[in-house]
Homo-oligomer: A and B are copies of this chain.
C-alpha cells in the first residue's frame, strides 16, 4: 500500500497511525474552534500535534481533507437518543442537546467552522451530510416509538421531524444571529411536534 496514492484523510490501520490521527484531529478541532476554517494551516497543525509536517501533508493533503476526516471521526462517536416516554419529552431533549452543542464555547465555533469548510469543498460537504445522517439515524427511534404509541401518524419521516427540531437553532447560529435560549429550544421542539402530529412529515 503506497500512502501517496491514498485519498486525503484516508486511514491505514495500526497503533501509531491511529495515535497520529487522534492527535492531529484533536489539534485541528481546537484550531477550527479558535480561529475558523480560513485560518486552518497544516504546518501549524503538525507543529501543535507534534507530528511530522510531511506526514500531515501526505495523509490529509489540504485543510479540507483534514476537516473531512474530522467529520468522519465525529460521525463515529454518537450521542445516544433519549427515551422519556413521550414525543414532546424526547424532542425537547433533542432540542436541548443541539442547543448545548451550538452554544458550547468550543463546539459552537467548531460547528460554524465545519459548515463553512463544507461550503467550499464537495468531499467535505459529503462528510458533513454523512455526519448529520448518522446523528439523525441515532435519534430516529424517538419518532418510531411515538408512531408505535399512536402519538404520530404512520409513515412519519423521522429525519424530517428531527431536522425540524434542529433547523431553527442552526438558523440562529448561522443566519439571523438570534439567541439560542430556552425560549428558542422550547419553540423548536413544540413546533416540530405540532407539525408532526398534524401529518406534515408523512
A129 vs B177: C-alpha distance when bound (angstroms): 6
Q: Do B177 and A168 have beta carbons less than 8 Å apart?
A: no
A115 lies within 8 A of chain B by Cβ:
yes
Which residues from B are CB-within-8-Å of A187? Answer: 160, 195, 200-201
A178 vs B187: C-alpha distance when bound (angstroms): 23
Chain A interface SS verdict (over half): helix
Which residues from B are CB-within-8-Å of A109? Answer: 119
Q: Quick one: given A171-B166, A195-B190, are A120 and B36 in contact (CB under 8 Å)?
A: yes
Q: Do B136 and A176 have beta carbons less than 8 Å apart?
A: yes
Q: Quick one: given A198-B194, A200-B191, are A116 and B120 in contact (CB under 8 Å)?
A: yes
Which residues from B are CB-within-8-Å of A160? Answer: 187
A113 lies within 8 A of chain B by Cβ:
yes
Distance of A169 from chain B, by nearest CB (Å): 8
A118 vs B160: C-alpha distance when bound (angstroms): 27
Which residues from B are CB-within-8-Å of A126? Answer: 177
**Chain A residues proximal to chain B, CB less than 8 Å:** 35-39, 109, 112-113, 115-120, 125-126, 128-129, 132-133, 136, 159-160, 163-164, 166-168, 170-172, 174-178, 187, 190-192, 194-195, 198, 200-201
